[in-house]
Amino acid sequence: MSAPVEWGVQTGTTGHPDTLVELESLLADAARHSASDIILVADAPPTIYTNGRWASLGRQPLTPEDISHCIEKHLTEPQRARLHKHRDVDISLTLGSDRRYRANFHYQRGSLAAAFRAIPARIPTFDELSLPPQVLGFAEYPHGLVLVTGGTGQGKSTTLAALIDHMNCTRAAHIITIEDPIEFNFKHGSCIIEQRQIGDDSPSFASALRHVLRQRPDVIMIGELRDRETISTALTAAETGHLILASLHTSTATQTLARIIDVFPAEQQPQVRTQLAASLRAILCQVLIGDRLNDALTPATEILMPNAAVRRALRDNETHLIYSMLETGRSAGMNTLEQSLADLIKSGRATTEQALAAAAEPSILERLIGNKTPVASAVARAPDRAPPGRSQSAV
């Protein structure tokens, strides 16, 4: 197996339509390098993300014909129509018996391009994810809203999948997932699990969620809270006896609350704050960083589990007080991201530079660890905080 080439180094010459590249070969090569992502763009070699950096596979630059050949053969007619109409389409792709990918096909500079994210062949166990033990308790809530948040590639989907897998072994329930696209494939266990894919099984998250409430679910997992209607329906469902698990692209608990509230017009926000105060069960914000003790990724987390004071702050529009409640709420299972990062530093699992790069409030982290290095210089030296392709998934 050849080593990947540093980004910018191209080998070979442009391919010819008579010898078009096969997608299966590219993805197999990427898998041998433990790549979490692969990008296909015309006039550049196939590029992978592995060990925290982008690198070329060392192949020839791809022609537009290569990429069209790779993409078109894996699309159904409805998917092909959506791609050519909307210029983007998301699908899940299975190759062989165990290699699955989340794929986005799109246009750039008038030609097709593609991005693939590898999905682990099996759902990691909760212990393998190294998450705080109180997170597993989220799967036991009978109803309410549980949010798992973080940036792209920080393991949100994997955490949600692990919670559903735990439910599937420990409780009897009807679970419906709404995803774009479907990532992990669940098998029926003690739960019956339906998985609906946006585009194929329903036109949108909002439409799927409206109708799923009539399908007698106990648990609903929403791949992403994307718009006002989806958020509004999710809040109502959480109030009316359903357990809602959902993800958001936010970095902290207070940012998550602000995102949900601010999507509504001002006149509706008091009602939304009241709904949140009544239905919110937990917010888990996570970021993956390289673990110095082994070749893996480990999560730093911020956890909000609302108590009476948090609920009162939500209702009274005083969310600026919630950070201090997180800081003092460890006995109730809460903590800030900076406290979690400080713990990783003290245990030797993260460097100060890694932690400062991942912190939402670097100055607070410095205070916690007594660091004397200026924040700006420490962050500038820090490596990528979440290099995928190791034992913890970055899906």
Q: Is residue 226 part of a domain?
A: yes
pTM value > 0.95: no
DSSP for 329-351, please give it: -GGGT-B-HHHHHHHHHHTTSS-
* 105 vs 353: CA distance, rounded Å: 36
Q: Is residue 386 part of a domain?
A: no
> Residue 6 has what pLDDT?
45
Average pLDDT over residues 323-329: 97
Q: Is residue 275 part of a domain?
A: yes
Residues 6+ apart with CB under 8 A from 323: 253, 254, 336
Answer yes or no: do 23 and 80 share one domain.
yes
Percent of the chain residues topping a pLDDT of 70: 89
Which tokens go with 26? 């590219």
What is the overall mean pLDDT for the chain?
88
Lowest mean pLDDT among 17-26, 33-42, 129-138, 284-293: 17-26
Q: Is residue 395 part of a domain?
A: no
Lowest mean pLDDT among 95-109, 214-228, 320-334: 95-109
The whole domain housing 41 covers 5-119
Answer yes or no: do 34 and 167 share one domain.
no
Answer yes or no: do 374 and 248 share one domain.
yes
Q: Supply the CATH number for residue 325's domain.
A: 3.40.50.300
Answer yes or no: do 241 and 363 share one domain.
yes
> Residue 212 has what pLDDT?
93
Q: Does the pLDDT value for residue 394 go beyond 60?
A: no
Q: Which of 119, 135, 154 is the last residue of a domain?
A: 119
11 backbone dihedrals φ, ψ, rounded to 5°: -125, 155
Answer yes or no: do 306 and 174 share one domain.
yes
Q: Supply the CATH number for residue 27's domain.
A: 3.30.450.90
Answer yes or no: do 169 and 101 share one domain.
no
Answer yes or no: do 333 and 203 share one domain.
yes
Q: Is residue 238 part of a domain?
A: yes
Q: Which of 119, 137, 166 is the last residue of a domain?
A: 119
Please write the tens of the pLDDT for every residue from 341-391.
999 999 999 999 999 999 999 999 999 999 755 554 454 444 444 433 333
Average pLDDT over residues 188-213: 93
Please write the tens of the pLDDT for every residue from 85-140.
999 999 989 887 678 899 999 999 999 999 999 988 889 999 999 999 999 999 99
> Residue 97 has what pLDDT?
67
Q: Is residue 357 part of a domain?
A: yes
- Local confidence band at 219 (pLDDT 50, 70, 90 cut-offs): very high
Q: Which of 100, 119, 138 is the last residue of a domain?
A: 119
Coil vs helix vs strand at 55: strand
**H helices within 112-252, ranges in order?**
126-129, 156-170, 205-212, 228-239
Answer yes or no: do 93 and 131 share one domain.
no
* 185 vs 12: CA distance, rounded Å: 39
Q: Is residue 43 part of a domain?
A: yes
Answer yes or no: do 181 and 327 share one domain.
yes
- Local confidence band at 21 (pLDDT 50, 70, 90 cut-offs): confident
- The number of domains in the chain is 2
- Local confidence band at 222 (pLDDT 50, 70, 90 cut-offs): very high
Answer yes or no: do 201 and 350 share one domain.
yes
* 228 vs 345: CA distance, rounded Å: 39
By the 8 A CB rule, do 246 and 145 touch?
yes
Answer yes or no: do 264 and 332 share one domain.
yes
Residue type at 128? E
Distances (CA, A) of 123 to 196, 288, 395: 18, 17, 11
Please write the tens of the pLDDT for every residue from 63-74.
999 999 999 889
Q: Is residue 326 part of a domain?
A: yes
Q: Which residue has the higher pLDDT, 378 or 49?
A: 49
Average pLDDT over residues 4-21: 48
Answer yes or no: do 240 and 356 share one domain.
yes
